[in-house]
Each structure stands twice: as structure tokens, then as C-alpha cells.
Structure 1
């Protein structure tokens, strides 16, 4: 056995910090400490051991991600499995054991409520004993003896305020009431947090204070007898103890109305249809130990599938298993398209075996043959001049139906996890891709666009095509199924990120600016239908019906637990001008509002109209406008951004937007892509620029 020679006094002598995370980071950055050998006559250093531990943690994270994939795909654990908490043995990690096994611990009536938080951030659970007081107060405060340290035997979770604030800034909201910690998890203070204990003044009292905080979800909030209260303030240097009482089996979170501490805004509740960065609550499907094997870190290619899926294994000759995923029937009882995902031990993305063509209507029968027969034509990436990005599968289905030919399909190279569909519209070669299922918002849109531009660097026409919420006004009679296109208007370049700015004494002020679409794209719009005119091509989806296009008064909210507006009060419908003689979608040009939140509030809708003069709201465009992606945004109106939002118009609106995009591409001159390429890539070279101007 080799002699251990690491000098632990180096850690004790390392000064400059008072402890905590800053001290730990400073240790891990100290070259003197990292280069210390652990054993005599052995090359292993402290940094090698740190790297090994990080590698094991990455494997644990990868295992938890795969577990979430299975649960998100519809494999629900049984009652016994729900009573188990899964994690890893701390000693397996610390002792650098050969086998790093996942273990389970009985949670009796269910996992503790704080598991909603740790599961949402995919925190790794490490089981162990004898850790001591990992969090200790800097000085004694006037609390009773029950709370001088974290109470034992209560399954409590202790966390630093700084860490909780980081989580809330990224995925929560502390501006409204109640506070939303993450996703649909809300903060309730049943008694005290940092307040002084009154019970220490009266030792004879049998009433003891409670400093444990509760993490509640929607159904618990609505059933709470006295309502829920969030803290007024937090101590920046403090720590928080969260209650460990077990979760209960509850129905999905309903939409809840929240009051706000800021005038004019509400605390954004999680929406079941569109959620930014949302992950299902953690759980395990297994009651026994299982291994987190493999020696490669997890890739960022894993995405959480839609929860409305069933998954089954099928045989495969490849090294990875193929998971065939079938969509559950939608509310009309129709079975949606199947598609394939590949999963295996390799952390790199691999191409899917097949993507079935979408069903198309007879009105576009001229493109059916080309759509169903992929030509597997290999073109150089520089031959593709048009990039088309969608956010939802419904939008991607509509986009595929617009292609005259499909060349091939496949993933990008290396860490590019975009799945590209390469094809042709008219004489232009087009690249289609979609955001990962279950991921929405400006950030992921920017990532997808950047990957596309790196793979196809000669793209000079960029389109963001999909659905959005319509913002009708007396000036712009926008209806469901209409199309809104972003163009420069007033002080905006076509898109405004309405949730980026600063809070001042005068309220919230929007700051920053986004680029306008390429000038030559705007020139082509002069040859498209004018503002408020019908688009020439009809969507290839049946028109849902004018009786289902209802704009309700902004003060009237939707009937609870109803999928449609059949039960809503018809007297609250806003009268619309009877100026339309056909049901053809009309196109409107102006500013599009983009943010990282779903707008389902008519009052917020009216604020956006009055403040910015916008025609539509959505969640991805702002992430694209300041990237290299030369973007024009095209949105089909599927709802009115209010509580009456439903899915009835989604397919029709997506088809209308896709049809307009196709008409736009076919209107362009054959050489526009080359001309725009010269405009965008050569003006930095004066000689080439002068040649292009003289041509």
C-alpha cells in the first residue's frame, strides 16, 4: 500500500476566504494544491482525483437524465416505486470505487416535498451519514434550541440563500406573490423564516416556532386553508430549511391566478402547453440498485420527450437501442405521426433511421411523391441558402409539406444535435430544423440557429416560421389563422424583446434593440400581398370554422376546466367588423413581441399593444435577431394571448404561416441568394464590394 503524502495543512493554510463556495472554488483553482501528489512514488495528483470525482458525477447526471427520459416518455412508476428515492452512495464516490451504483431509499409515503426542487434542477442525490453540520451559523441568533442546528430525523433540506436565488433568477420569479421557485413549485412560509423566535421568551409555552419552509404545487395551493404566504425578504448570507413532509398523489397543476407586488404584472404560472426549460418531477422506475456505467460524459443531445408518449424497444443491428415512440391520440381521437429516436451508450448524437413523412391533403398532391421519397442526394453544405427554423412539431410538419423535394435527413456533425431536413422549394435549397421537443424560448432558439449557421455557413435567407398569439386592435383586425410578418416599424427593427429592460421608479422600461431583417428580404415583401390582404395560397389544413374564432372582452376569463369556449358567455364576445368575404388568411406586417414567457392574459396583451404597438407575441424570435442568422419572422395566429387559448387553431395557423413562407421563397428571383451572400459576406473586402456594385 502506497504512503499517503498529501499535505492537508495546505488546505488549512489557504487563506483569503471565509469559507463556503468561494473558499472551495479558490482551493480548486490553486495550482499549488492541485499539483500536490497523493501517494509517494505515484504520479496521481490532487487534480487527478478531483477530475475523477467530477467524471463520476457526470455519469450520475447522465443516469438521472436517462431516467427522466423514460418517465417523460410515459413510463409511470408504480406505487411502490414512487415511495423510493434514488441516488448514489457518497462513499462510492469519495472512495473512488470501481462500481458506482445507483441506490434507493424508502421514502415511506413518498419522496419529500423538497424533491420537487432538487428533481427540477436534476440535482444528484448522495446518501450518507456523519456529515456533521455542513451549514453552520456565523453567529448565534435569538432562536429556540430546536433551531440552532438543522433538526434531525425530519428529512429536511438545508440550502444557502445564494443558491436558491440563483435558481429563482433563472427559472423562477420573486417579483409576484406567491414566489415561484422553479417551474410550478411555489414557496410558502407557514410560520417564520429569519424572524426572532417568541418561544424563547416563554420556556413554559408548549407552542414552538417553525422555521421550515414549504414547497407547494398548484393543487396544494388551491386547497390550502389560509392561502400561502411567501417571505418579504431574504438574508443574503443566510440558509433556508425546507420541509420534508412527503409528496401526495395530485392531479396536474391547474391555472392559478396570482396577485402581484408590481403594478400591471402577474407572477407567471407554468403553462402545460409551452414551458421553458420544464422537467417532470424526478422519480425512479426501479426498486433495486442499478449502475451508472460508461466512461464518457453525457452529451447535451438528450432532450426530454413529450409526456404524451408511449415507448417500446424494438430490435436493432446497431450498437445502440432504437426506441420507437408513438404519440397518444389527440383530443380529436386521431393518432399522430410516429417518429424514431436513437439512444445508446455513446454520448454523441447519431442519425435516426427514419422520419415518416407527414400526412398531406389532396390539395398539394403534386408534392406528395417528392415528400414520401427521400432522394438521399448529397449536396455540399454551401449549396443551401435558405434556413427555416420551427419551434414545434406541428410547425415542422407544416414546413415539410411545403418542400417540392427532400434531399436527405440527418443530424449535424460533432456536438451539433440539430436534426436537419434538406430539400428544395423552387430553385432554392432549403434547410429545415426544429427546436428540441420540450424546449422553448429565446435561448434555445439562438443555440439552434447558431448550430445551423455553423453547419451551413452560406445561408443568406433565414426564416422563423410557426404559430403565435394575435394581438388585435381597432387598427389591425387580426383573426385566428391570419399571418403576421416582422418588419421595421417605429423604433423597432421588427421584433421587440418586451421582457428585457430595467425596473425604475417610473415602472418597467424596455431596453436594448434587435436587428432588422435583411434589406433584400424586405424588398421582396413589396411583391407579396399588402397589409391586411389575403395570402394567395390556401393552407392545406381544413379551416376550423368562423364560429370557433371568438375574441372575448379583456375582462372576461375562460371557464375553468374547459378545453374549448363552448361554455363561455357568448355575450362577452367582442363584435368584429363583417368585412371579410372569404376565410382566406390575411397577412399583417409590423412588430412582433418576443419573450421567455407564455402570454395567456388579456390584460398583459393590452399592455403590449399600448406600449409597443405589436401585432403578435411569441417566444423565440428575439433569440435569433442578433445572431448570424439573417432572420425574417412569420407567425400564424393560433390564439389571442388570453385565458381562452386552446389547440384548435394550431395546425391551421402553422399551415398558413408555412404557406406564406413558401410563397415568399417562390417569389424571390433565382439569383437572390447569391446576391444576398455577396451583400452579407464580402462588404468587408473593398475590392470585392466594388465589383459587386459594378456588376
Structure 2
């Protein structure tokens, strides 16, 4: 009498085969079924995540068994016209540096081919009326010279000093930003056409607010409205973001005090402050990943912060991130499968 031989898939990694006399358990290599993604895009808010997905286009949900993080995968152009970046995007379950570090670790474990992780999202900008060229306005984009972990300090009798040693930003992304900023100075702004929300109905909710809503208040909480520097002095063109490069402050603080903002900016020469990149940058470094951050400016870190500019700032960060990847040489996944995946037109 022939015995029935059955196969049962327990989960994505485990298959049981056998009959009443024989049982065989087979384990699949989880990495063998994953796309060789090399770039991770991390966001903190749903607005940021939605902006990345709509800007990058064609991203497909990609659940990973055993990983609680939700991912979406897709292809974006690289500097090499014959090779695209395969990116994985995700959103944090909640904001903060500890959560960012955890998600970065999950990302590197679930996608062993990962080489670089970027954070794309919003931040508070630092206005500077005394130095118009360094004046940051709502809707602008800020990329880092360095990250200042301003709560990671040595406290001594002679004063408080930030402890050194934060990992350097990705050399490859830094080189790509150098090229983009050279284009910018030459009057070429490849990210700007992607911010034209009139061409794409799906971008309607990311439309840039009226510039008259970009109101700057005095730091003394008097309610006094300050005038922005003249555009010809600050280098701002009407209706589009200016891209700044400078120090970005990161800590576990949601900053809503303009006087504290100004003191931090004075002490550390900051252009923006945020809450996730110190966790993501350190976790990326410890997991052998390069890291980078692109921030769109949604507020001034004061008590009058509103969500009005949040969507546009998210879109500005996503657009510059897309331009950055387009100027960046592709990473080698190390899997030897890049060509096969590149011809599929997407993830299976």
C-alpha cells in the first residue's frame, strides 16, 4: 500500500515533508528570497513616508517574516544609466533616536545586502537674520556637514562640551551632494521639477503653502513678527527651496522654545535640529552601514509651530533624496544577482 507523502510550509523559512514513517524538516535561507536592496530610506512620520513613496513611484509592499517593520521596495535611477538603486523604504512606529536605531538594526538584518541608510524627513530650521546667507526658511532643505549630538556631553567645572566621535556621513552620498550643490550654483536644480504639484494630481496635498504663511517671530515670546532678509541677500528664490549644508543638531527633544533654539545654534553653529539621526547614524555605523540625512524644514522650533508646512517639507526632502540617489554611484549588493533583479522591473 502506497503511503501518502505530504509537504507543508510552516512559514517562509521552514518546510516539513513526510508521511507517517518519515519526517524531514527543511530550512530555507531567508536571505536567498530577498531582493538585493542596497539603500534604505527611513522616515519618522506618515507624511514623510507617503512623500517618499509618491516621489519614488512604483514602490511595492514587502513584508519580511519575523521582522515587525513594514517595508516597501522599488527602483530609482543611479548615476550609472545601466544600473538602478534597489531601495527599501520604511516608517518608524514612533519618533525618537532609540526607535530609529532599532529600525535601522532590523533593516540591516532583514536585508543583508544593505550598504547605506538615509533618513528623509522634516526638521526645525534655524533662522539667522545677522547672516542672511545662512538664514533657513520654511520649505528649505538642509543636508549635513556633521551631526551634533548636543545632549551627549561632558560636564566639567569649566563648562559643558559635546563629546566627539559621531560617525561621519556617507562618503559616497557626500560626494553626490558636492556634485548636486555644484549644479545648484550653476543654476541647475534637478529636484525642483519634481516639486511642481500642478503636474501630478497625487501631489496635491503636498502643495507648497503661500509664502506669506512663513512667519518668523521674535525669540522673546513677545509675539513680535520679524522680517526675513531680502531674497537677494539670503539666496532664496520665490516658490522653491534653498538647499543648505551645515551642522544638524540631534537629541531626544522636541524643540518648541526659540530661545533654546538660538542658544543651541549659537553654540554649535546649527542649521537645523531634529530627533532621529543620532540613533540611526550610530546604529548604521555599528551595523557596517553608511548613513546620510536629508531634512525639509517645516517649522522654526518655537512655540508657534504648526503642521502647515509639514507636507511640503516632507516632499522637498523626498525630492532632494531622489536627486541625491540619481547623482550617486550604485552600491554593489555583493549577491551577484543585481543584473537578474534589475531586469525584472521590480520586486517579485
| TM-score bucket (shorter structure) | 0.7 to 0.9
Q: Distance in 2 between matches of 1:410 and 1:504?
A: 49
Q: Does 1:452 align with 2:117?
A: no
TM-score under structure 1 length normalisation: 0.38
SS in 1 for 2:227: coil
Q: Distance in 1 between matches of 2:191 and 2:211?
A: 19
What does 1:596-635 align with in structure 2 at a 5 Å threshold? 596-627=252-283, 628=287, 629-635=289-295
The aligned counterpart of 2:241 is 585
Relative distance call for 1:397 and 1:404 in structure 2 (3 A) is: closer
Relative distance call for 1:479 and 1:534 in structure 2 (3 A) is: farther
Determine if contact 1:502/1:511 at 8 Å carries over to the other structure: yes
SS in 2 for 1:466: strand
Q: Distance in 2 between matches of 1:578 and 1:528?
A: 21
Determine if contact 1:534/1:587 at 8 Å carries over to the other structure: no
Q: Distance in 1 between matches of 2:32 and 2:49?
A: 22
Determine if contact 2:191/2:322 at 8 Å carries over to the other structure: no
Residues 150-201 of structure 1, C-alpha deviations (whole Å, 9 max, x = no match): xxxxxxxxxxxxxxxxxxxxxxxxxxxxxxxxxxxxxxxxxxxxxxxxxxxx
Q: Distance in 2 between matches of 1:632 and 1:609?
A: 21
Relative distance call for 1:581 and 1:526 in structure 2 (3 A) is: closer
TM-fit CA distance, 1:609: 1.2
TM-fit CA distance, 1:643: 1.1
Q: Gapped runs of 5+ residues in structure 1?
A: 1-347, 349-377, 488-493, 558-568, 679-695
What does 1:222-241 align with in structure 2 at a 5 Å threshold? none
Q: Does 1:442 align with 2:103?
A: no
Larger relative contact order (CA 8 Å, sep ≥ 6)? 2
Which of these two proteins has the greater Rg computed from alpha carbons?
1
Q: Does 1:462 align with 2:143?
A: no
The aligned counterpart of 2:89 is 432
Relative distance call for 1:537 and 1:518 in structure 2 (3 A) is: closer
Q: Does 1:662 align with 2:317?
A: no
Determine if contact 1:389/1:432 at 8 Å carries over to the other structure: yes
Q: Distance in 2 between matches of 1:525 and 1:581?
A: 20
- Aligned with residue 37 of structure 2, among 380, 384, 398: 384
Determine if contact 2:215/2:225 at 8 Å carries over to the other structure: no
The count of aligned residue pairs is 277
Determine if contact 1:470/1:637 at 8 Å carries over to the other structure: yes
Determine if contact 2:248/2:273 at 8 Å carries over to the other structure: yes
- Aligned with residue 417 of structure 1, among 59, 68, 77: 68
Q: Distance in 1 between matches of 2:248 and 2:160?
A: 19
Q: Distance in 1 between matches of 2:32 and 2:297?
A: 35
SS in 1 for 2:155: strand
SS in 2 for 1:421: strand
TM-fit CA distance, 1:383: 1.5
Q: Distance in 2 between matches of 1:441 and 1:634?
A: 16
Determine if contact 1:534/1:584 at 8 Å carries over to the other structure: no
Determine if contact 1:483/1:634 at 8 Å carries over to the other structure: yes
